Amino acid sequence: MKVQYQPNPPYILSTFILFFIIHSIQVGIGIQGFQRLIFFEAKQDAWISVVLAGLFTHIVVMVMIKTLQLYGPTDIYGLHTEVYGKWIGKIVNSLYILYCLWIFLIVLINYIEVMQTWVFPNVPTWIFSISILLLVLYGVTGGLRVIVGACFFSIILSVWMLGFIGFPLRFADFHHLLPVMESSIISILKGTHKMTLTVIGFEILYVVYPFLKEREKVTKFAHLGIAGTNLLYLIVILISITYFSPGQLENTIWPTLSLFKIVKLPFIERTEYVAVSYWLLIILPNLMLYLWAAVRGVRRTFEKQRKGLIWIFSFAIFIGSLFLNSRSKINQFNDLFDSMAFYITFCYPFILFILALIKKKMTSLKEK
């Protein structure tokens, strides 16, 4: 496998689209209920944990871009082959492919649970799973340009939801934010750790990087995308802390969706039903990008055909979703993923950067 990869001109994307890719893949199922998890650890200082998680994300992305720039137009699959060699590189690439499929399954089962809890309690899991997988398959078989188009319209068509954020502010009590910094540093950092499942997704940069046209602008648009996501999370956590009492926030599984319940419109009685159903358009780009990244990993690593792989992966995910059909199982699966994702997303990029830098130096010395 060649380390560097240069796609054909029709597949090259304008770099500004990276803002939409990163923002859309970060804002998914996590934003529906991250407030409760953070509040458990940091209490009224949970907003500080959110800010710290955003800052750490910026640092990790900076390291990721530096790593990718070492070898020109390449992706993480090429980097692994260069750093670890042919065979170990294939093993590490396989683990990364499994990681992409794991995230896909996490997003899928959590969304199905929300749909069954809020809107359709009698509809079985397999119907939701098949329906969503067919939509994802339709997008992924269209290629990366179709997927990024879905990312773009997912954000543009979801702007109306921001208009509902102002409703809870009428009942907000800003004294809930006081006293500031009452929680210990350890508690705040634990809250930051709990943000992992909510902020991940930016690592897709490792895979889409070769497809971007003006790579000198990658840093700008990647950080803008993350900053947009962080600002949204900060607003949501501040509203949640000031609207809910501490007891309510600790016992509300999906605080963001609960905020929609207080929105009363003359033509819609239950706004939260609309929001939950509409959320499918928000998570679809996430699912498409992760499945595309997994399929692309197999093509780069093992040079296999794409269409058959999509169906195999989708069938495996469908079977997995059937077994994860209860609150306790999904919680255990989320907790396991949360601990693993922290090391893969926030720690591994530093290790990969150091190894790639050492390999680059050694290669340069040999050439001299």
Cα radius of gyration (the chain):
21
pLDDT band of residue 337 (cuts 50, 70, 90) is confident
pLDDT band of residue 274 (cuts 50, 70, 90) is confident
pTM: 0.93
Q: What are phi and psi of 158, to 5 degrees?
A: -100, 0
Number of H helices, E strands in the chain: 18, 0
pLDDT at 1 over 80: no
Residue 335's pLDDT band (boundaries 50, 70, 90)? confident
Q: For 305, left (φ over 0), alpha (ψ -120 to 50), or beta?
A: beta
Tokens (6 digits) for 50? 């959110």
pLDDT digits (tens, 9 = 90+) for 279-305: 999 999 999 999 999 999 999 998 766
Q: For residue 220, count other CB atoms closer than 10 A to its CB.
A: 14
Query: How many residues would you count in the chain?
Result: 368
What percentage of the chain carries pLDDT values higher than 70?
A: 99
Res 148: pLDDT: 94
